[in-house]
Amino acid sequence: MSDQTTVGTAARPLRIAVIGSGPAGVYAADILTKSEAVSSGELTVSIDLFDRYPAPYGLIRYGVAPDHPRIKGIVKALHKVLDRGDIRFFGNVDYGTDLSMADLRAHYDAVIFATGAIRDADLNIPGIEFDGSFGGADFVSWYDGHPDVPRHWPLTAKEIAVIGNGNVALDVARVLSKHADDLLVSEIPDNVYTDLKASPVTDVHVFGRRGPAQVKFTPLELRELSHSKDVDIILYAEDFEFDEESDRQIQTNNQTKTMVGTLTNWIAEQPEDLSELTASRRLHLHFLHSPVEIYDDAATPGTVAGMRFERTELDGTGNVRGTGEFVDYPVQAVYRSIGYFGSALPAVEFDHTRGVVPNMGGRVLDAAGTHVPGLYATGWIKRGPVGLIGHTKGDALETVTYLLEDRADLPAAVSPAPEAIVSLLVDRGVQYTTWEGWIALDAHETGLGSAATAAGESHGVAVTRERIKVVDREEMVSISRGGVAAEIP
C-alpha cells in the first residue's frame, strides 16, 4: 500500500468503515478494537459505523418481535460497545445514495459490509400475488415500527395461514393471534397497537413441510406461544410422524428432544373434543404440509380465499416426499415466512441465488472469484440468514481476522482524516444522526412510555410501558439531531 509505513500507527490509524449497525456490524467493530494487534499497541484503528436508519441495532430494533424480553440483554451489550466512544455512529446515511463506493474508498482503508437480509425469500406457488398474501418479513418490519413501511396493515382476515417453521414464523403467528392489549407492555408503536386491536382474527394456522422433529424454531420460541392469554394451541395427531432420522435427532440433540417433548405433552393434554376449548382465538400447528397454491373464488377474484397443501411423509432421512393427498384450508390471508433474503449492494458483486455477497471467509470476491482488496462482509449478507444472533460473533471474528492479515496490502485511503467524512456529509446536506442523537431518541421513547405509565393507563388499559417506539423517520431524525450539535467534532 502506498503509505504502509504510517497506516495503523498513532500518526495514521487504520481507517475502517462498517456498513450496518446491527449485531454483525457492532460485533465486527468491537472485535477490531479488541484485537491483539490493537491491544498490544502494534496497530491503531479508527472505525465509523454507518446505518441507513436513524437508530442503531438493525435486526434487534426492526426484526425481532417486541414481546421478546431476552432481546433487552443483547441491546444492553450493543449499547455498551457503542457507548465507549471509540466507534463513531452515523445514522440515516444510505450506502449507494448518500455515500458511494468511491466515497468509501477515498475515506477508508477497508470497508466491512454488515447489511444483513431484510426481505422475504420467494415462495413460487400459484396465487402468491393475490391480495391478502403477504411477506412475513414485511409484517415484522411493520409491527416493529420500521420507518420505511406503511403505518397501517390490512388486518381484516378471521382465518390466517403462516407458512414456515422457523422462529420468525412463530413470531408472526404469535403477534397475529395475541390480543393487542397484552402487547402494550412491550415497545409496540401506537399505530401497530391500534391496527392489531381492531383485528377480527379467530384462527391462525402455522404450516411446516416436515415433521415435529425437523422444525427450525427454538424451545424458547415454542414455549412463548403458550404464554399468550385467551389463545388455545391446537395440534393434530396425524401430523406426529417420526422416522429413523427423527429418532436419531431426538436422541442426540437436546434442543430437538425438548421441542418434541413439549409438542407431545401439549397434544397429550389437549381435550379429544376440541369444542371444549374456550379461548376466543386459536393457534393451530400443522406439520407434514407442503404448500401447493393459494386460491381465490368467483365472488372475490384475485383475493385470497384459501390455501391448498399436499400432505407429506418422512422418507427415513428426515426429508419428506409427497403423498398425493391434498387438503384445502379456507383462509383470508397468507403470510409466507420461509426465510430472509439479502439485497444487492451498489458496486459489489452479488449472488442472486443465495442472496449474499460472494466471499471467502469474509473477503469479498469479484465476478472472477478474486478477492477485492479492502472489501469484507460479515453476518447474513456474508453467509445467508442462518443461525442465531450469537453465531454472529464467531462470524465477525473470522472476517476481522482476515482483514488484519491483509492490512499491509490494503489500498490506502486518499482522505483518511476522520473529519473529512463529516465534511462530505455536511456538504451534501445529509441529515445524519449520531450516537449522542440516539441517546436523545432513546430517552424520548422511554419518556413516552413513562408518561403513559404515569397517566395510569394506555389506550384504556392499566399497564407499565417501558417504551413507545417512534416510527416516523423525519421525527426520529429531528429528535436525534435536536439532542446533538450538527457536526461531529
- Domain extents in the chain: 14-118+342-432, 119-340, 435-489
Q: For residues 213 and 92, is the Cβ–Cβ distance under 8 A? A: no
Q: Is the dihedral of CA 364, 368, 370, 375 positive or negative?
A: negative
Return d(Cα 487, Cα 252) in angstroms, integer.
Answer: 56
Give the cell for residue 25. 456490524
Q: Which pLDDT does position 483 carry in this prediction?
A: 56
Q: Which pLDDT does position 10 carry in this prediction?
A: 54
For helices 473-482 and 435-454, the axis angle rounded to 10 degrees is: 110
Task: For the chain, list residues with pLDDT below 70.
Answer: 1-11, 69, 387-388, 483-489
HSE-CB of 413 using CA atoms within 13 angstroms: 27
Return d(Cα 39, Cα 82) in angstroms, integer.
Answer: 18
Q: Which pLDDT does position 9 carry in this prediction?
A: 59
- Cell 449507494, residue located: 96
Q: Which pLDDT does position 340 carry in this prediction?
A: 87
Amino acid occupying residue 450:
S
Instruction: Characterize 243-275 residue by residue with b for buried, 16 or more Cβ atoms within 10 angstroms of its Cβ, and e for exposed.
Output: bebbeebbeeeeebebbbeebeebbeebeeeee
Q: Which pLDDT does position 268 carry in this prediction?
A: 94
SS3 letters across 247-316 = HHHHHHCHHHHHHHHHHHHHHHHCCCCHHHCCCCEEEEEECCEEEEEEECECCECCECCEEEEEEEEECC
Q: Which pLDDT does position 200 carry in this prediction?
A: 98
Give the cell for residue 328. 384445502
C-alpha R_g of the chain: 24
Q: Which pLDDT does position 82 carry in this prediction?
A: 97
Q: Which pLDDT does position 389 carry in this prediction?
A: 73
Return d(Cα 144, Cα 108) in angstroms, integer.
Answer: 33
Fold of 14-118+342-432: Rossmann fold (3.40.50)
Q: Which pLDDT does position 5 carry in this prediction?
A: 42
Entry pTM = 0.92
Instruction: Characterize 80-114 residue by residue with b for buried, 16 or more Cβ atoms within 10 angstroms of its Cβ, and e for exposed.
Output: ebbeeeebbbbbbbebeebbeeebbbebbbbbbbb
- Cell 420507518, residue located: 147
Give the cell for residue 24. 454483525
Q: How far apart, in Å, are the Cα atoms of 92 and each of 54, 295, 430, 480? A: 4, 41, 8, 10
Return d(Cα 186, Cα 458) in angstroms, integer.
Answer: 12
Nearest Cα to 164, choosing from 225, 215, 124? 215
Q: For residues 211 and 227, is the Cβ–Cβ distance under 8 A? A: no
Helix, strand, or coil (residue 159) = strand
Q: For residues 393 and 411, is the Cβ–Cβ distance under 8 A? A: no
Look up the CATH number of domain 119-340: 3.50.50.60
Q: Which pLDDT does position 485 carry in this prediction?
A: 39
